[in-house]
Amino acid sequence: MRTVIMIVVVAVALLAGNALLQLLGASARIDLTEQQLYSLSAGTRQVVGELQKPLTVELYFSQQASEDLTQLRAYAERVDELLQEYRLASDGQLTLRRVDPEPFSEQEDDATRFGLQSVPVGNLGESLYFGLVVRDANDNYETLAFLQPDREPYLEYELTQMIYRLQQDTLPVIGVLSGLPVMGGFNPATGQPNEPWMAIEQLQSLYEVRSLNAELTRIDSDVDVLLLIQPPDLTEQAQYAIDQFALAGGRVLAFIDPVAETAAGGMMGLQQQASADSLTTLLAAWGIDWQSNQAVLDATNALVVSQGPGKPPMRHFGLLALGESSFVADQLQTSALEAVNLSSVGRLTAVEDASSVFLPWLFSSADSMSIDATRLQMGADLLQLQRDFSSAAERQILAATVTGSARSAFSAIQAEQWRQPEDPEHIADTQQLAVTVVADTDVLSDRLWVQVQNFFGQRIATPWADNGTLLVNLTDQMAGSTALMSLRARGQYQRPFDRVEALREQAEQRFLASEQRLQQQLQATEQQLMELQPAPGDEPLTLTAEQQQAIEAFQQQKLDIRRELREVQHALNKDIDALGTQLKVLNILLLPLLLTLLVGGIAYLLQRRRVL
Amino acid sequence: MSWVICKRELSAYFSTPVAYVFIFMFLALAGMFTFYLGQFYQRGQADLVPFFNFHPWLYLFFMPAVAMGLWSQERQLGTIEMLLTLPVSPAQAVLGKFFAAWLFAGIALLLTFPMWLAVNYLGAPDNGVIVASYLGSWLMAGAFLAIGSCMSVLSRNQIVAFILSVVLCFVFMVSGLSMVLDVVRAWAPLAVVDMVAGLSFLTRFEAMSRGVIDLRDVGYFVWLIAVWLMATVHLLNIKKAA
């Protein structure tokens, strides 16, 4: 009985102490994560600290429906704490409200009105709401329809972005001209509408994104940034319109690609339809030399790709994963980016004697070369690419910005044909050119950087590289809003086993060497066999015993070489597996045994010293 | 005085082979769980998530095993009377013994450092997260031991003390899960249900394993240790009086 009483007393003491501790709030904590994932970043502090008008943040969370969901309730508490941090940083401009949208209540109607997502839970299928609404006094609002716990590292960015958007009176306009289905549209193959690319969807959440027609005669005067993504064949008039837009000080961001294979999603026709060739004249006038038939291979930055079931993964020299060493230091658009993936990327060079200033900012490694771009089209032979690789020992320029002075690509006489009566005067030259060119379009396609899931009709993006961030950063920089840049790249990305990747690289090189040697041997043996055997038209000869023996020997040799080839293929991952086994044996048996003995030894010595 | 007892107890641990078997088994099992059940190598991710995920479950059996002899052995051998006649208060004795056990658990935990070396050898992990996880793990071990210490006073049979501790620790571990909360929900309001859910070792440890050291999580473990040790002292006083 006494024990039971004691346990009850202990339980009450624990609960009371715990309740007291909760009252302490979230201020006393240390964030030990490398990127300070759970603390407010400088970018957020800046945005929230500079709020011009009061905002209300409402956290909708269904108390009753979440009873069984302990983890979710704990997350809701953490969200609430994060919001408190926002409130403290906002200097009184942010008000917080916690709303419980009970079934059939007014609050539930509000939740529905704001477009919050309800998720059925429990056996009775109760509706659970867990969303955020940021509102201003004029009832403009931004929402996060449902807060998924696994997206906690992105919550701060998403929330700050919502607050930032609500502060903008008018959004900057991004005009997009592309021959690729970047804005989504109808897919004839599936009969279903396609979603826009995630990179563009992210832009849409920050800017007014306007799709432009390829037959345009002029660029709308309210367009802040012109985004060209592998534009379709442009009429001369359209080219002239772009030329004049750039010369008038308009910002141009161009993504062009020798082979837009991932971007086109393998749809034939799209590649032909969209090529960057019609930009060549303009690029040359701006000071950029662009070879649309050249693509870059990079042995150091190659991504490992799966080759399908039963085959070992291989490095694809045309698929590049670029890290910090590939960016120019101290550039705002690439600071804090960890990884950008590109596919079949082209190369840029500066036009000699150009009057503009050419500033490259994205490079391949020195262990790279350029090849004929057609070799990187769908179904490229990865092994052959590796075999034919010979390093040019020089870094290739993959992206650059040109600024300063430039002349129009068109003469005043040409201009007369296209100029509309309401158009301003022809601009022959400028001092304020600002054009950024990236020699790849696949970089923007979902499959190179983001996993998109459908969550009750809402698209949830989980990035595994910074490609989307790069686009938004570039656009931000050009549209003149840079506050969000510092916190955009605070995602949690993959932390791969670098050593295993290095082993894979070595194994591939060894495999290539042996494979080449064995293939040569095989060819030689087959040649010798052919020479010994009678040609099909010849009269069958009786072979001498020596000849017969030689044929058998060669056939045996051929079988041996083939077997050896298979073994080499099998051995590809041997070192990786061996390292895994070594670590297992070390950590499960050897080191526990050694460490236990060591502790025993130390204890023995200490005790002996005490006895002596 | 507590420190003298702590030192004596700690050296007593290492004077029997049981400690070495314990350390070896703990290290080997932690490695096995990490590599086989947690698929550490196949995941290819430079973090120690699969390693720390199994700590609560390892502790569920290992810590009661360390704590079971703390008092029941003394009672069984009749040495408790002698101990309590020494110029040592029960509180000092309880603290001394507990810290010895906690340090012993800490040494066992520190000896898992090859896993840390391995993950740093393989890639570039977030070491801040690992430090926070280690701290969380050690605090959690302390909570298990404090419960074990109290259960050890209750019975002179070590096995009974062990079983009692495992059961109680299990309740604390899973108190965030619906199987426990359902029982509470039947009679208590939602606020109490949340409070009980907040008592779960798993929830607290997971919060720390994210890489954030929150005063409330640390405070929870410290408070839990303090409460169970106070209960131990109280029980000891009752036994002494009897």
3-state SS string for A480-495: CCCCCHHHHCCCCCCC
- Residue B32 reports pLDDT greater than 90: yes
pLDDT for A612 equals: 66
Share of chain A above pLDDT 70, in %: 92
Q: Assign residue A48 the CATH number of its domain.
A: 3.40.30.10
> Any residues with CB less than 8 A from the CB of A458 and at least 6 apart, and which?
A117, A145, A146
Which tokens sit at A173? Answer: 């306009």
The question of ipTM being above 0.90 is answered as no
Q: Which whole-number Å values give the CA distances from B208 to A485, B126, B140, B204, B219, in the listed order?
A: 28, 14, 11, 6, 12
A contacts of B23 (beta carbons < 8 Å) = 592, 595-596, 599
Distance from CA of B223 to the nearest CA of A (A): 7
What's residue A471's pLDDT? Answer: 92
Helix residue spans in A372-466 (DSSP H): 382-387, 412-418
Co-location of A69 and A145 in the same domain: yes
CB distance B15–A13 less than 8 Å? no
Q: Examine the pLDDT at B67 and tell me if it is beyond 50.
A: yes
pLDDT value at A378 more than 80: no
Residue A413 lies in a domain: yes
**Quick one: A215 exposed, middle or buried, by C-beta within 10 A (0-12, 13-18, 19+)?**
exposed
Range of the domain at A595: 502-533+548-607
Report yes or no on A486 lying in a domain: yes
Residues A276, A178: Cα–Cα separation, whole Å: 10
Lowest mean pLDDT among A179-183, A552-556, B79-83, B234-238: B79-83
Listed ranges A254-268, A551-565, B98-112; the one with the highest mean pLDDT: B98-112
pLDDT of residue A390: 87
Same domain, A602 and A486: no
Rounded Cα–Cα distance for residues A398 and A246 (Å):
21
**CA of B178 vs chain A CAs: smallest distance (Å):** 6
Q: Which of A151, A583, A608 to mutate to test the interface with B (most CBs of B within 10 A)?
A: A583
**For residue A74, what pLDDT is reported?**
77
Kindly list the residues from chain A whose CB atom is less than 8 angstroms away from the CB atom of residue B154: 3
How many Cβ pairs within 8 Å bridge chains A and B?
174
Give A105's Cβ-side CA count (13 Å radius).
Answer: 12
**Nearest-CB residue to B227 (from A2, A13, A71):** A13
Reported confidence tier of residue B109, pLDDT bands at 50, 70, 90: very high
Instruction: Indicate whether A459 and A516 sit together in one domain.
Output: no
Q: At what angle do helices A198-206 and A467-479 cross, to 10 degrees?
A: 30
> For residue A309, what are the CA distances in angstroms to A306, A312, A313, A507, A563?
8, 8, 9, 19, 21
The residue type at B111: L
| pLDDT greater than 70 at residue A330 | no
Determine which of A175-184, A420-429, B47-56 has the lowest per-residue pLDDT on average.
Answer: A420-429
The span from the CA of B61 to the CA of B77, in Å, is 24
Among the listed ranges A111-125, A244-258, B104-118, which one has the minimum average pLDDT value? Answer: A111-125
What pLDDT, on a 0 to 100 scale, did the predictor assign at position B151?
93
- Closest partner residue to A596 (CB to CB) among B23, B224, B230 is B23
Provide the pLDDT for residue A234: 87
| Same domain? A109 vs A225 | no
Is residue A27 very low, low, confident or very high in pLDDT (cuts 50, 70, 90)?
low
Distance from B224 to chain A by nearest Cα, in Å? 6
Quick one: average pLDDT of A364-368? 91
Give the tens place of pLDDT for each residue, B33-64.
Answer: 999 999 899 888 889 999 999 999 999 999 99
User: Of A22-31, A306-315, B110-119, which one has max mean pLDDT?
Assistant: B110-119
Nearest to A14 among B107, B203, B227 (CB): B227
pLDDT tier for residue B118 given thresholds of 50, 70 and 90: very high
Disruptive mutation site among B227, B233, B237, B238 for chain A (greatest number of A CBs within 10 Å)? B227
Residue at A511 is within a domain: yes
Domain shared by A367 and A279, yes or no: yes
Mean per-residue pLDDT over chain A, rounded: 84
CA pair distance B71, A20, nearest whole angstrom? 32
SS3 A465: coil
| Per-residue pLDDT, B139 | 97
Give Cα A53 distance to the centre of its chain: 34
**Which position has the token pair 């965030």?**
B176
A9: contact with B, CB 8 A cutoff = yes
Chain B residues with CB inside 8 Å of A63's CB? 190
- Apex CA A18: angle with CA A15 and CA A20, to 5°? 110
User: A441 and A298, same structural domain?
Assistant: yes
**What 3-state DSSP class applies to A343?**
strand
Q: Would the pLDDT of B11 be above 90? A: no
Considering only alpha carbons, which residue of chain A is nearest residue B42? A580
Q: Which of A144, A166, A188 is the last residue of a domain?
A: A166
> Residues 39 to 98 of A: which have CB under 8 A from any B CB?
63-64, 67-68, 70-71, 73-74
Cβ(B153)–Cβ(B232) below 8 Å: yes
Per-residue pLDDT averaged across A345-360, rounded? 91
Same domain, A475 and A336: yes
DSSP string, A29-51: EEE-STT-TTS--HHHHHHHHT-
> Residue A259's pLDDT band (boundaries 50, 70, 90)?
confident
Among B200, B215, B224, B238, most A C-beta atoms within 10 A, so best to mutate, is: B215
At B24, the pLDDT band (50, 70, 90 cuts) reads: very high
Q: Are A67 and B215 within 8 A, CB to CB?
A: no
Closest chain B C-alpha to A83 CA, distance in angstroms: 17
- pLDDT score at B1: 72
Q: Does A367 lie in the same domain as A457? A: yes
What mean pLDDT comes out for the span B178-198?
77
Contact assignment for B128 to A15 by CB distance below 8 Å: no
pLDDT of residue A26: 56
Q: What angle do CA A24, A29, A31 make, to 5 degrees?
A: 160
What domain range includes position B232?
A: 1-241
Per-residue pLDDT averaged across B159-163, rounded? 94
Q: Considering just the CA atoms, what is the radius of gyration of chain A in Å?
A: 32
Q: Are strands A429-438 and A251-255 parallel, antiparallel or unpaired?
A: parallel
Q: What is the pLDDT of residue A539?
A: 58
- B10-to-A330, B15, B104, B110, B163 alpha-carbon distances in Å: 55, 9, 7, 16, 23
Share of chain A above pLDDT 90, in %: 25
pLDDT, average across residues A145-162: 84
More confident residue, A436 or A4: A436
A96 and A176 both lie in a single domain:
no
Is position A363 within any domain? yes
H or E stretch including A597? helix A591-611
**Which pLDDT band, with edges at 50, 70 and 90, does A268 fall under?**
very low
Which of the two residues, B197 and B150, has the higher pLDDT score?
B150
Domain for residue A4, yes or no?
no
Inspect the interface and report whether the beta carbons of B111 and A599 lie closer than 8 Å.
yes
Contact B28 A9 (CB under 8 A): no
Residue A431 has pLDDT above 90, yes or no: no
When mean pLDDT is compared across A58-62, A249-253, A547-551, B99-103, the lowest value belongs to A547-551
CB contact A583 to B (< 8 Å): yes
pLDDT in tens, A583-601: 999 999 999 999 999 999 9
3-class DSSP string for chain B: CHHHHHHHHHHHHHCCHHHHHHHHHHHHHHHHHHHHHCCHHHHCECCCHHHHHCHHHHHHHHHHHHHCHHHHHHHHHCHHHHHHHCCCCHHHHHHHHHHHHHHHHHHHHHCCHHHHHHHHHHCCCCHHHHHHHHHHHHHHHHHHHHHHHHHHHHCCCHHHHHHHHHHHHHHHHHCCCHHHHHHHHCCCCHHHHHHHHCCCHHHHHHHHHCCEEEHHHHHHHHHHHHHHHHHHHHHHHHHHHC
Arithmetic mean of pLDDT, A511-517: 80
Q: What is the pLDDT of residues A475-503, one digit of tens each?
A: 888 886 556 665 655 555 567 788 888 88
Pair B233, B226: CB distance under 8 Å: no
Is A516 found in the same domain as A442? no
Domain final residue pick, A114, A132, A166: A166
Residue A417 C-alpha from the chain's centroid: 43
pLDDT of residue A205: 84
Distance (Å) from the C-alpha of residue B193 to the closest C-alpha of chain A? 8
CA distance A59 to A133: 7
Q: Are residues A444 and A485 in the same domain?
A: yes
Measuring CA to CA, how many Å separate A578 from each of A500, A504, A515, A581?
11, 12, 22, 5
3-state SS of A492-559 is CCCCECHHHHHHHHHHHHHHHHHHHHHHHHHHHHHHHHHHHCCCCCCCCCCCCHHHHHHHHHHHHHHH
Element (H, E) at A316: strand A314-322
Cα A540 versus chain centre, distance: 65
Split into its structural domains, chain B has a count of 1
Of B11, B129, B235, the CB nearest to A33: B129
How many structural domains is chain A composed of?
3
A60 and A160 inside one domain? yes
Cross-chain residue pair A73–B224, CB shorter than 8 Å: no
CA distances A438 to A72, A392, A470, A475, A580, Å, are 42, 21, 11, 13, 40
